[in-house]
Structure formats: structure tokens, C-alpha cells
Amino acid sequence: MTPTLAPTWVQLVYLACAVCFILALKGLAGPRTARGGNLVGAAAAVVAVAVPFTYLDLDHVALILVAIAVGGVVGAVGAQRVQMTQMPQLVALFNGVGGGAAALVALLELGHLGDATPAFDVGATAFTVAVGAVSFAGSVVTFAKLQELMTSRPVVFPGLPVLFGALLLATLVLAGLVVAEVAVGWAVGLALVGLAVGVLLVLPVGGADVPIVISLLNALTGLTVAAGGYVLGNIVLLVAGTLVGASGTFLTLLMARAMGRSVASILFGALRGGSTLGAGEASDRPVRSAGPEDVAILLGYAERVVVVPGYGLAVAQAQHTLRELVEVLAARGARVDYAIHPVAGRMPGHMNVLLAEAQVPYEQLVEMDDINPELPHTDVVLVVGANDVVNPAARTTPSAPIYGMPILDVDQARQVVFLKRSMRPGFAGIENELLFDPRTTLLFGDAKESLAKLLAAVKAL
């Protein structure tokens, strides 16, 4: 059926909300405007949700309000309690809920469509059901991998490509039947097949590739929301979904480029042994280690220091101690910057947000392309919880799963200090030969405790 045309004032309000979403996305492009952009987007979303109560004769209003209240409480509590290291998991869950909700709305809307409904409208509904289900199931699996509820390594089995291809074909057939017969039964089958496709899409993905898949699924959710907006005749959903779909697509491509790989190799690389495989075994090769006092001497008398933060810093919640150490080194006359790799941590911007939380000046955060030319002239590079983003195998070992990934050229510095909990490799599951370089010193222990000891030792110099 054709959606009921909203009053002019409602359309104007929706248009204003859509503009606010665009402004919010623009605000999120920079650290100084991100908070304001987030607030603008949230306010527009609240207005968009409230408007239907003012002009529509809604059924089950009490149930709708209860659902909004429960969702609001769960979302607020979850966002308050989530750790910085768990932010990608939260994004995956939110993304999955969005895709699942879009699929359910499309299923309900299909029950109101008649045989006279244009085929394009029914096709958009079928698309929303299928892709929303894929996004929901895939996001649940990515959450499970990141939360370590299942292995982070690729899960493959004989016949997986054949089964996946058969499910894709079944998706197209069922979508065609939905369009031809406008039948809810076929749509339910389409949703179930979409759930299976989502699971099989993510199972072969491992390790550091999972955040890229989250971004891809986020783009898919945006497309489902946009399609749902078209079906419902809602400009806010149409614009918001398009923004999410476009930005998610660009982010996916940028992350893949930062990994030096294609999206296809990320999704299906494990089927031919090319995926980022996940954590491997700890090495027992000899390395040069030192105590906090020895490392403090290296840092205390260095004129140029670069800090490389990684996921281990986030796990240890050591960003405040690290900032204090950097301030002490700067007070002693050293020039200190933070080198930020595009995919350091679990998602783009993870390190930026983590360090901003510790009140680190944004001017000290230097992107990879800008800091690499300075590393050959750097006295000491302090690597805190990073591994794959400084692994020279990305340049030197064609068989390595991270080969071709742009990295921070830490191996060109005069001295390198790694703060590590153990000798286990990073998400790529391969050894970092830089750890065994004669210029490299390892300081073992929890990052927060090691930095606290290092800070005290530098102050004592």
C-alpha cells in the first residue's frame, strides 16, 4: 500500500532532523566538534521518534512507550558501563539490533501490502528483510568473537563455499518469490536464510579483520534502514540510513586499505589461508629484557621520543599514567609525540578517543604517514600494547597474513622499547621479529603497573 502522506509541518520537522543528522556526521569528523555533533544527532533522533505520537492515531501506545523506556534504560546503562576496550562489541550489538529491527518492521509492513503494490516497493521490502537479517546474525557473531565467547580464529569447514553460495542463491530465489506473490511466508523463509548467510559470512573472518567486518555490517544496516524509509515513506529513515550506509562503506574501504588488503580477501581470505588468523602461541626465543630503571635511563636522556599506543594500553586502562610519563619527559626537554596507526586498537579512532579521555593534547597525536619520516631520527620509540601495526613482516614476509599492510616504521628508530605482558603474538598470530632485534628492549608486565614504575624511575633520575 502507499504510505499515508504526513502533514506539511511533520515533513518540515523530519527534513530538519535529516539536516541535523548530516550536521552531526560532519561534527564527528573532528575531535573538537565530535561531542557537539553527537548531541545534535541524538537530539534529532529524539525529535524524530516523538513526532509520530503527535499526528498519528497509534495503536498499542502503552506497549510502544514501555518498549522505548526499556530500550532507553538498557542502552543508557550499557553505554555507561561499557569499558573502552569493549566499545567495538557495543557497536556490533547496536548495529545488529538496528538490522534486526529493520527486518522485523519490513516483515510487518509486508503483511499490509496488497497485490497492487508496485514491484519495486515489494522488492525494497524483501531487500530490507534479507539484508537486515544478514546484518543481525553477522553482528552477533562479531560480538561473540570480540567478547571471546567463541574463538577469534577463522572457523571454516569442508563445503563452506558451496553452502554459502547455495544460501546466496536461495536468498535471490526467495526474494523473487516475495516480490511475485507478496507472501509473508516466503519473507519469513527469506529472513531465516539471511540469518544463515550472516553467520557464514563472519565465521571465516578472524583476528584483526573483525572490526572491518563490523564496519561493513554497519553499512548494510544503513542500507536496510534507508530501504525501510523508502517503504514507509519516511524521509528521516531514508536520509539516516543513506548516511550510515555511505559512511560505513567508506570506512570499510579505508580500513581495508590501512590493512593493505581488499574487502574480498578479508571476508574470504581464510578459505585460501590468507586471513588474519588470530592469536597464536607464545614464543620461547631469547629476547633482551630490562627493568623499569634501565628503561627510564633510555627515556630520560632521549631528546626525541615517540609513543606507539595499542590495544594493550586500552586493556590495562593505562592511558592516564602514560600521559603523565609523557609530561615528565617533556618537562625534561624531550620532544614527545604519539604515533597513531589507522587501525590501532579495535576500531579506527580507538586510540584517539582513549588518549583524549586522558586529556592528551590532540596536537600530540600524529598520524602514521606524518610520523614515519621522523622515526629514523627518533632516539626511543616506546610501544605500549601494540604489535601487528609495527611488525616489519608486513613489508618483508610475503607469506605473512599482514603482508602489504602499511605499518609504523618503528624498526628504523635508534632504540625500541616494548611494554608487553607476554611473548604472545598479536591478532595476526605471527611473531614480530622486531622483538628480537638487538636495538629492542622489552619491559614485561601489566602496562599500567609497568608505566607507573617507569614514571617513578624517570622522576628519580
Q: Are 321 and 189 in contact (CB under 8 A)?
A: no
3-class DSSP state of 198: helix
CA distance 160 to 202: 12
3-class DSSP state of 442: strand
List C-alpha distances in Å: 207 to 151, 161, 164, 308.
9, 20, 21, 20
Give the tens place of pLDDT for each residue, 161-171.
899 999 999 99
Residues 6+ apart with CB under 8 A from 236: 14, 17, 18, 21, 48, 229
CA distance 321 to 384: 12
Closest CA relative to residue 51, chosen from 1, 18, 9, 101: 9
Q: How confident is the model at residue 209 (pLDDT cuts 50, 70, 90)?
A: confident
Q: Compute CA 119 distance to the chain's CA centroid, rounded to the nearest angstrom.
A: 36
Give the tens place of pLDDT for each residue, 324-359.
999 999 999 999 999 998 877 766 677 887 888 888
Closest CA relative to residue 395, chosen from 260, 267, 300, 288: 260
- pLDDT of 2 reads 45
Tell me how crowded residue 257 is: count the other CB atoms within 10 A of its CB.
Answer: 14
Task: Say if residue 268's pLDDT is above 90.
Answer: no
CA distance 40 to 57: 28
Give the tens place of pLDDT for each residue, 90-110.
888 888 999 999 999 999 888
Q: Are 280 and 271 in contact (CB under 8 A)?
A: no
Give the tens place of pLDDT for each residue, 421-454.
888 776 666 788 899 999 999 999 988 999 999 9
The three grid cell numbers given for residue 318, joined into one nine-digit string:
593505562
Task: Say if residue 417's pLDDT is above 80.
Answer: yes
CA distance 411 to 434: 7
Tell me how crowded residue 326 is: count the other CB atoms within 10 A of its CB.
Answer: 24
Q: How does strand 415-420 pair with strand 380-384? A: parallel
Looking at residue 146, its amino acid is: L
Q: Are 428 and 400 in contact (CB under 8 A)?
A: yes
CA distance 220 to 425: 32
Tell me how crowded residue 41 is: count the other CB atoms within 10 A of its CB.
Answer: 21
- pLDDT of 183 reads 86
Residues 6+ apart with CB under 8 A from 162: none
Q: What is the pTM of this model?
A: 0.78
Mean pLDDT, residues 248-252 = 87
For the chain, first and last CA: distance in Å? Answer: 77
User: How many alpha carbons fall within 13 Å on the CB side of residue 36?
Assistant: 8
Catalytic residues: 388
- pLDDT of 458 reads 93
Can you spell out the DSSP letters for 143-179?
A: HHHHTTSS-SS----TTHHHHHHHHHHHHHHHHHHHH
Between these two residues, 49 and 111, which has the higher pLDDT value? Answer: 49
Q: How confident is the model at residue 281 (pLDDT cuts 50, 70, 90)?
A: low
Q: Are 267 and 235 in contact (CB under 8 A)?
A: no
Q: How confident is the model at residue 270 (pLDDT cuts 50, 70, 90)?
A: low
CA distance 146 to 83: 13
Residue ranges and CATH numbers for the domains of the chain are: 82-272 (no CATH), 292-459 (3.40.50.1220)
Specify the range with the lowest mean pLDDT, choosing from 46-50, 211-215, 243-247, 302-306.
211-215
CA distance 159 to 157: 6
Residues 6+ apart with CB under 8 A from 83: 317
Q: How confident is the model at residue 63 (pLDDT cuts 50, 70, 90)?
A: very high
CA distance 439 to 441: 7
Q: How confident is the model at residue 271 (pLDDT cuts 50, 70, 90)?
A: low
